[in-house]
Amino acid sequence: MHQIPIPKSIASWNVLRKATPHRALHKDDILREIFERLSTVGNASLAGEERALCQRTLAISARVCKDFLDPALDVLWRELADFLDLMKIILPSAKTTTRGPHNIKVETLSGELTPEHAARFFQYARRVRSIPNGIIRPETLLDPPSVYSYLADQNHGAPLLPQLQELRWQITSAAAATTLITLVPKSLRRLRLDFQDSRFNENANIDSDQTAQKDAIHSFLRTLRSKTPSLAYLVISGYVKSTAESWLPVAEFTRLQSLHIVITDPTLLPHIAQMPCLSELSMSLFLPEDDELRFGDCPFPALRDVTIQVTGNSLAYYTRILGAVTSAHMESVYMSVNFDGRPQSPGGAALVEQYHGLYRVLGSTPSAPSLRKVQLDIWLHCNMGGVPENRATLVAEQPLIEIFGPLLSSRTLEVLRFVQYPCCPLPVILSDGDIRQVAEAWPNLQSLLLRYKTSRSLPTIHVLADIARLCPNLEHLFLPGINTSETPDLSGNWQSSSPLRELYLIDGGGDADADRFARILDRCFPFLDISSLLYRDRSSTWLKIVGTLSRLQRTRNPE
């Protein structure tokens, strides 16, 4: 009799969930319920030793008796870390070689296959439902690579992984794409394709045979669409030198709900805009900034969440794209712009106007009343025009609230992120009144991140009490700084039950009364996570503030 080890974290079980009324649990139901508690799928909190013990326990359980076999193996093989784990069952002979200039180690499996090998493969393959991180080069792991064709023949053309729902696959050649087609079933829901070579068609010359390459991509995507009609989530990463015509079949996945894609040709966008079920779109755009964009009638009918990542020097151009893709149902917008640093890139004053234009576009769209998240990240370069600017030539300082002004009517906002990474100082001021106006306009805020370099005026410590009072759901607060030159006494109304967990101040605390500042923080934000305050470049005064705050929390919560 096998002795089955029980992991500590699940040693005491409430084994049976609430059963469906009027339905008796069969023996298989009970066994699957027990073995589900040993599953490591989706349980990131398990330590490595605990995870290994769970898998070992399942493996031992499968050997106890025939009744235990299927339920235990179903749980054990549901998710694979790598497709290679499955192939090792039938090709256990492995050799390790080094390839390329960086001497990358490649493990190659070899051996002759028989129908018995295929039967053993299918016994385990039918249980696999997820391979979320299987980053492999499938055509280089097997010797010979025709093993996939052999298995497909033995399976009479049926998918090799009939229960698969999630897969990550590396596309390095047409052979790798063909292999993928033999694996996936109609039930596949999530797919990530990593293109690792600019030449998709291994027999095509990039200069002389663009048509062959285009046809290979187009044909592969068409076949994939017919094989996976239920696909809801698709990520296409990497770069393949091709035209928009090659990628048009992507827009034919009519049930697709989430798409992540690199776009180098603007003519692809109108086709994506007509996808009927697309609710989440993430695009990395590399487009000529003088192209005219047309999206047709009623673009993006179901879109709720959009992410746009761009590299260029014209925020205005990409603002037009953002306005075009913003549907009436939009809830979340994230835009990341990496300015390339060319001489015509805008300086600080011009950036303020472009930022205002972006928020003006968002505020004027039909989705403005329903927006919940608006996030903007700007990456600047030190060789950009206008950095540093002569203070004598600067335009008058503008209140930061004027940039966000067009969005103030949207009462549903929960996340506001405005990040300009140095080194261009932004000629704006942030006053107590600005912060108060933001808090009053968006009482449902859960995260407020305002990060930029400035030498202008900063809000005083009084705004902390305003934020705690006006934004009762706020958990993350990031400000460019706090003016602590005059730390007020504690007689005011500082006490609150704010759930704030993270606080980050770029500038502030250097000249504060450490004890008084710490007590104000403790009263405004009693649940503050001390570790969120321990970021780099802090003065000795700030460290004293953190130390005092830590003691106050321990006194209040001695356990």
Q: How far is CA 309 from CA 59, 324, 335, 376, in A?
A: 45, 15, 6, 10
The predicted-structure confidence for 422-464, as pLDDT tens digits, reads as follows 656 777 888 899 999 999 999 999 999 998 877 667 888 889 9
* Per-residue pLDDT at 189: 96
**DSSP string for residues in 210-266:** HHHHHHHHHHHHHHHHHH-TT--EEEEEE-----HHHHGGGGG-TT--EEEEEE--G
Question: How many CA atoms are closer than 13 Å to the CA of 180, on its beta-carbon side?
Answer: 30
Cis amide linkage into residue 388, ω under 30° from 0: yes
Nearest CA among 280, 407, 285, 413 for reference residue 355 = 407
480, pLDDT greater than 60: yes
Length of the chain: 559
Q: Are 405 and 438 in contact (CB under 8 A)?
A: no
Mean pLDDT score, 242-251:
84
35 in a structural domain: yes
* Helix, strand or coil, per DSSP, at residue 173: coil
Q: Which two tokens stand for residue 510?
A: 């250097």
* Per-residue pLDDT at 390: 41
Q: Which two tokens stand for residue 230?
A: 């239920």
23 in a structural domain: yes
Q: Which two tokens stand for residue 318?
A: 């990409």
312, pLDDT greater than 80: no
Q: Are 243 and 266 in contact (CB under 8 A)?
A: no
Pairing of strands 104-110, 93-99: antiparallel
The predicted-structure confidence for 59-87, as pLDDT tens digits, reads as follows 666 555 655 656 667 777 788 877 877 88
Output DSSP code: residue 79. B
Of the listed ranges 139-143, 162-166, 179-183, 516-520, the least confidently predicted one is: 139-143
63 in a structural domain: yes
Mean pLDDT score, 326-333:
87
550, pLDDT greater than 60: yes
Give Cβ neighbours of residue 51 (< 8 Å, ≥ 6 apart): 40, 43
Confidence of residue 31 (pLDDT cuts 50, 70, 90): low
No. of helices (H) and no. of strands (E), the chain: 17, 18
The number of folded domains in the chain is 1
* Per-residue pLDDT at 245: 83
What rounded mean pLDDT belongs to the chain? 77
User: Residue 61: which domain range?
Assistant: 8-76
Position with higher pLDDT, 183 vs 216: 183
Nearest CA among 240, 245, 202, 246 for reference residue 220 = 246
165 in a structural domain: no
Residue 22 burial (CB count, 10 A): 5
- The dihedral sign for the CA sequence 269, 270, 273, 276: negative
Mean pLDDT score, 33-37:
58
Q: Which two tokens stand for residue 257?
A: 């709900």
Beta strands in 385-427 (DSSP E): 398-399, 415-421
111 in a structural domain: no
- Percent of the chain beyond pLDDT 70? 68
**Cα 168 to Cα 147: distance, rounded to the nearest angstrom:** 20
This prediction has a pTM of 0.79
Q: Element (H or E) spanning 338, and its range?
A: strand 332-339
Question: For tokens 């490591």, what's the residue?
Answer: 40
The predicted-structure confidence for 160-171, as pLDDT tens digits, reads as follows 999 999 999 888
385 in a structural domain: no
49 in a structural domain: yes
Of the listed ranges 142-146, 296-300, 387-391, 522-526, the least confidently predicted one is: 387-391
42, pLDDT greater than 70: no
496 in a structural domain: no
